[in-house]
């Protein structure tokens, strides 16, 4: 009981201290676990100890029968928004931010000769967040725009070795999501939305098949996670002459974390070298289509419908025309064991960004496409330390859409995004 309470406390710490950033395969991290991150996210067919809980459950427990891993990723996005058209002269860097994303994993084989391995992991699935200050408004003043989306998961997994070649994996995934955003909250017509949250469940199926000792195949499928973000507050600014800032109850509809399918190959020609290649399909088209903010229950005397509907009337619903496209992600990873203690890794990850030009928003600019990674592992008997560095190369995108209901920031708005991420993990096998 004491061990269960301690683990629950660690999970709560992970949730409380997890922020969000632009995780760069859309809203997803490119890899889960430091070894995977150092290899560009290519891990679905690779034998693992702990990271399989968050990835392919069929691969967990292959390198150690029982163990505990604690890690943290430090995400450091760099953002810029500009607009050279219409004489705006806009050129603003996003505020410097550092997002710590902790993780905690445990795996255990049920007996020395058992075909069953169980695992549990708390980790940040992904998210996105920006903060731009001194953004010009239509009233020739300046204000801020910001967003913060985070998604934390607690995954319980089991794998079963059918025979020497085939291992099957199954995982049940509990999720906790939180969203906040603001659009010119200090100006008339602006708003600040906070504390939109939801809890959810999803499932994951995986398999690993060893064609021969040197060559493995891996496949994994993760179901979509529907999220009805509710319980929030929308502070709508009507201006000092119209009642000031008015609080509404808020919820976000039609938001989901996408289903995914991934296939990978791992080749280990000798004891020193490991090569891995993965291809992943992410179904953003279904989960990030039209996401709608709905407000209700204002104070007495205040309007039930505070938002312009674009046709001369007012409504209580504000649609965000995301219209994200499905994404194919390709990852390549290499690992070289220098000796029994030291291992080095490198990787490459590419996924065309899912955001269409005409739907780009500075609030949700998940547009990085190309990543390069390096990693290092130090192994001291049962104790190991792993470090990885990930660079998301700058990508710029421009929205020329003149429809203000879709692009309220005006045609010509350009967003640039790059990101550096440092991953660290320590693990103990026993």
Domain extent listing, the chain: 2-429
Q: Report the percentage of the chain scoring pLDDT > 70.
A: 94
Strand partners, 107: 67, 119
8: how many CB neighbours lie within 10 A of its CB? 12
Q: Is it the case that residue 91 has pLDDT exceeding 70? A: yes
Closest by CA position to 316, among listed 292, 289, 290, 299: 292
- List the structure tokens of 294: 């709905």
258: how many CB neighbours lie within 10 A of its CB? 23
Tell me the H-state helices in 52-129: none
Rounded to 5°, angle at Cα 129 from 239 and 231? 60
pLDDT at site 14: 41
Tell me the H-state helices in 216-274: none
Q: Tally the residues of the chain.
A: 430
- List the structure tokens of 131: 């903060």
Half-sphere exposure for 40 (CA within 13 Å, toward CB): 25
Sign of torsion over alpha carbons 133, 228, 287, 319? negative
Q: What is the mean pLDDT of residues 125-136?
A: 87
Gyration radius (Cα) of the chain, Å: 23
- List the structure tokens of 3: 């061990």
Q: What is the mean pLDDT of residues 77-99?
A: 84
Domain 2-429 has CATH 3.40.50.300: no
Of 20-29, 55-64, 83-92, highest mean pLDDT = 55-64
| DSSP conformational letter for 94 | P
Q: Is it the case that residue 404 has pLDDT exceeding 90? A: no
Band of the pLDDT at 18, cuts 50, 70, 90?
Answer: very low
* 389-399 pLDDT tens trace: 999 999 999 99
pLDDT at site 243: 78
pLDDT at site 96: 84
- List the structure tokens of 124: 């940040």
Q: Report the percentage of the chain scoring pLDDT > 90.
A: 77
Band of the pLDDT at 98, cuts 50, 70, 90?
Answer: confident
The owner of tokens 């409380």 is 16
Q: What is the mean pLDDT of residues 299-306?
A: 93
Mean per-residue pLDDT over the chain, rounded: 90
* 207-264 pLDDT tens trace: 999 999 999 999 999 999 999 999 999 999 998 877 799 999 999 999 999 999 999 9
Burial of 402: CB neighbours in 10 Å, binned 0-12, 13-18, 19+: exposed
Q: What is the mean pLDDT of residues 30-54?
A: 91
pLDDT at site 8: 40
Q: Is it the case that residue 28 has pLDDT exceeding 90? A: yes
- List the structure tokens of 411: 């045609």
Band of the pLDDT at 345, cuts 50, 70, 90?
Answer: very high
Residues 303 and 234: their CA atoms lie apart, in Å, by 13
Q: Is it the case that residue 174 has pLDDT exceeding 60? A: yes
- List the structure tokens of 141: 């003043």
Q: Is it the case that residue 21 has pLDDT exceeding 80? A: no
Comparison of pLDDT for 84 and 105, the residue scoring more = 105
364: how many CB neighbours lie within 10 A of its CB? 24
Rounded to 5°, angle at Cα 248 from 292 and 195? 70
pLDDT at site 216: 98
* Residue partners of 13: CB distance under 8 A and separation at least 6: 102
Q: Indicate the pTM of the whole model.
A: 0.91
Closest by CA position to 265, among listed 333, 202, 179, 186: 333
- Average the pLDDT over each of 13-17, 66-70, 175-179, 419-423 and give the range with the smallest value: 13-17
Residues 131 and 252: their CA atoms lie apart, in Å, by 20
Residues 136 and 301: their CA atoms lie apart, in Å, by 31
pLDDT at site 422: 97
């Amino acid at each position: 009981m004491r061990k269960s309470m301690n683990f629950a406390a660690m999970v709560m710490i992970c949730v409380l201290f997890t922020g969000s950033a632009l995780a760069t395969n859309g809203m997803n991290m490119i890899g889960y676990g430091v070894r995977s991150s150092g290899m560009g996210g290519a891990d679905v067919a690779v034998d693992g100890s702990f990271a399989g809980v968050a990835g392919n459950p069929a691969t967990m427990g292959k390198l150690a029968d029982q163990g505990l891993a604690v890690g943290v990723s430090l995400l450091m996005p760099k953002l810029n928004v500009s607009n050279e058209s219409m004489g705006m002269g806009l050129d603003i860097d996003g505020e410097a931010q550092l997002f710590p994303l902790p993780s905690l994993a445990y795996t255990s084989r049920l007996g020395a000769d058992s075909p069953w391995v169980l695992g549990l992991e708390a980790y940040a699935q992904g998210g996105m967040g920006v903060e731009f200050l001194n953004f010009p408004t239509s009233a020739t003043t300046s204000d801020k725009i910001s967003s913060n989306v985070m998604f934390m998961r607690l995954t319980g997994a089991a794998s079963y070795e059918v025979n020497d070649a085939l291992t099957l994996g199954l995982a049940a995934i509990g999720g906790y999501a939180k969203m906040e955003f603001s659009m010119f909250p200090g100006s008339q017509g602006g708003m600040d939305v906070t504390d939109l949250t939801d809890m959810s469940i999803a499932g994951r199926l995986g398999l690993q098949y060893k064609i021969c000792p040197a060559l493995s195949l891996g496949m994994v499928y993760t179901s979509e996670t529907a999220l009805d973000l509710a319980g929030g507050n929308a502070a709508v600014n009507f201006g000092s002459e119209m009642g000031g800032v008015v609080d509404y109850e808020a919820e976000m509809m039609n938001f989901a974390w996408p289903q995914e399918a991934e296939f990978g190959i791992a080749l280990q020609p000798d004891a020193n070298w490991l090569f891995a290649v993965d291809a992943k399909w992410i179904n953003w088209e279904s989960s990030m289509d039209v996401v709608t903010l709905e407000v209700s229950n204002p104070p007495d005397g205040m309007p039930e419908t505070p938002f312009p509907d674009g046709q001369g009337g007012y409504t209580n619903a504000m649609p965000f025309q995301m219209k994200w496209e499905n994404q194919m992600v390709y990852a390549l990873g290499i690992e070289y064991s220098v000796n029994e203690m030291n291992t080095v890794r490198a990787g490459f990850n590419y996924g065309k960004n899912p955001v269409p030009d005409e739907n780009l928003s500075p609030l949700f600019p998940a547009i990085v496409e190309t990543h390069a990674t390096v990693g290092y592992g130090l192994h001291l008997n049962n104790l190991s330390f792993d470090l990885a560095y990930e660079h998301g190369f700058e990508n710029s995108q421009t929205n020329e859409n003149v429809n203000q209901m879709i692009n309220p920031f005006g045609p010509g708005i350009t967003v640039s995004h790059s990101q550096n991420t440092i991953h660290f993990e320590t693990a103990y096998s026993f």
